[in-house]
Structure 1
Amino acid sequence: EPDRTWNKEMRSLVQEMIHFRNECQPFQEPDPVKVSEFEKRYREILEIARAEYGNVPANNYYRDGYNLFLRMEKYMQNHLLFLHDSRIPATNNEAERLLRNYKRKQAQAVTFRSFESIDYLCQCMSMLVLVRLEEPANIFDRVSRIFG
């Protein structure tokens, strides 16, 4: 939406929050003053979005931005949870990478006849991911020992 300003401001704020969170030490709670500043700016940007959409409503062509604004407003606490809890990653890149393997299997000529078989596949794939993290050199040997 080229005529809106809130989206560019929100994007830069989110990038700033992610960089701030990545600079924090692992398992160290972030500075509460800085976190409250981020939340305040987040709310201010949402107010800008509300004003922009109030003045010029979203049309059917640019509906995604308006829907994003509504989701960001409704789920603000969920979106900013990574600032409060050090166990939550700042991005979901790892989850998306792991899910990509499942989507590739789904796109192949694989047919799941039940939810149980999908569950088995997911358990096996997660086991392989854990084995790779623990012993990246000997995946085959480790899996052989598990099933052997």
Structure 2
Amino acid sequence: MIEIKRFASFLDELKTDVQGLEDYHLVAVDTHAVNRLKSKTGVQLVAVIPNAQRSGRVGASEDMNSSIFFVIEKANPSAARTAEIDQYDKTQQIIIEIRSIIEEAAEEGCWPFWRLEPGSITIDPEYNIFGGWNGWSMQFTF
């Protein structure tokens, strides 16, 4: 199981290193994210606290962790189509950069991603989540 304080430190590094990312929020459930995002603006990273699944046998077992990252920005329901596409483009570039950072960490054998399963990475568009935010989600196992 991943140490939550160390995972939060990784998210803090992402906030510093990824241009255009305003803040991050480590959450357990949807309502937790809604509460954290209430007064926020700009592009936000919402990271779901990783779950852990034990595999192997007694004496030779290990945890596989899964998480979902959301890179989102507050939606403007009256925005023109081009503005909405621009919003998806901006958040897409950031989620791709975060995926690259995670993959590079895995290639270098760095914590916490040394057991990243590249085939587990799924990126999906998100619309009107957490009370009116658009962007992208990335689910992955590590």
Larger strand proportion of the pair: 2
Query: Shorter-normalised TM-score: what interval?
Result: 0.3 to 0.5
Structure 1 or 2, whichever has the larger Rg, is 1
Larger helix proportion of the pair: 1
